[in-house]
Structure 1
Amino acid sequence: MGILEKIIGGAAAQPIEAVGKALDGLFTSDEERLDKQALLTRLAQQPAALQVELNKIEAAHRSTFVAGWRPFLGWVCGVGLSFAYVINPIIQWVTGQPGPQLPLNFMQELVVAMLGLAGLRTWEKHTGRAK
C-alpha cells in the first residue's frame, strides 16, 4: 500500500499513481523527476484543500440547515449526557428501576472534540483575532 492510498484512499490514489507512472516514462533527468514529484504531491493535496474551503463556506452560511449541524451535534450530545448523568439517576432513584443505558463513549469523544475546538475559538476571541 502506497503513501497516497494511506492519505486519500485507494480509489482516489490509483489515478494519481497511474499519472505518475506515465510521467516517469516521459521525464528522464533528476530535475524533471523532482518537478513531476512536486506536481503529484500538489495533486494529492488538492482534495483536502478543497474540503477545507467547503467547510469554511458551510460554517459561514446563514441557513441553520447548512451551518447548524455543528450546534445540532452539540445539543444532541448535551441532551444525551444530561439524560445519562442527571435524568436517568433521578428516574432510578424515584422508581427503583434501572433506566435505559446510553453508549456514552462516542458522545463523550464528540463533546471533548467540540469543546476543544470551542476553547480555541474562545482564545481567538480573547486575543482579538476573531472576525
Structure 2
Amino acid sequence: MIESLVKPVSNLIGKFVKDKDLQAQLDHELSTLFHQANLAQIEVNKIEAQGKPFQRNWRPSVGWICSFALAYHFILSPIIEVIIKVSGAQIDMPEFDFSQLSAILMALLGMSGLRSYDKMKKTDTKK
C-alpha cells in the first residue's frame, strides 16, 4: 500500500531532481514518513480498540445516527406530512437542514467505499 502512495510522489520528484542518488534518498525518506504515519495510526487503532465501549463504537453509532436521519428525511418525514394533511391536523413539521448531515454522511460513505474497494482487491487491511 505504501508503494502505491510513494510511487506517484516519487515520479513527481523525479521530474525536478536529476541526481539519482538524491532521488533515491528522497524516495527512502518519503517511504519512511509514510511508514511512520501508518505505525502511528496502528497505535491509535490499538488504543481505541482497548478503550471503553463508547470509545470503540463511536464510528458505528455515527453511521446508525446518519442512517436514521437519512431515513427520516427522505421516508418518514414525507409520510408523516401526508398523514397530517389527510387527517386535517394543523401541525407544522420542524425544518430539517440536510446540508450538515449530508457532509458527514458522504464522508462515511466515502470511507465505506474505500473499504469495499479494499475487499474487492483482497487487500490485507490487518497489517
Pairwise TM-score range, normalised by the shorter structure: 0.5 to 0.7
Distance 1:113 1:128 in 2: 23
Alignment map for 1:20-59 (pairs within 5 Å): 52-53=41-42, 55-58=44-47
TM-score (norm 1): 0.53
**What is the aligned partner in structure 1 of residue 74 from structure 2?**
85
Separation in 1, partners of 2:69, 2:120: 30
TM norm structure 2: 0.55
Give the Cα–Cα distance (whole angstroms) in 1 for the partners of residues 111 and 104 of structure 2: 11
1:108 to 102, 108, 111: 102
The answer to whether the aligner puts 1:66 opposite 2:60 as a matched pair is no
Work out which structure has the larger RCO, using CA pairs closer than 8 Å and 6 or more positions apart in sequence: 2
Give SS of 1:128's match: coil
Aligned CA RMSD, in angstroms, stands at 2.6
Q: Deviations over 1:48-96 (max 9, x none)?
A: x597355422554485322210111111111111111111101111112
SS at match of 1:100: coil
**8 Å CA contact 1:58, 1:67 repeated in 2:** no
State the partner residue of 2:112: 118
* Ranges in structure 1 where 5+ consecutive residues have no aligned partner: 1-44
Q: How many residues align?
A: 84
Post-superposition Cα deviations, 1:74-128, rounded to whole Å, max 9, x if no partner, equal 1111111111111110111111244222221111111100110111111111111
Q: Quote the Cα distance in structure 2 between the aligned partners of 1:127 and 1:117.
A: 15
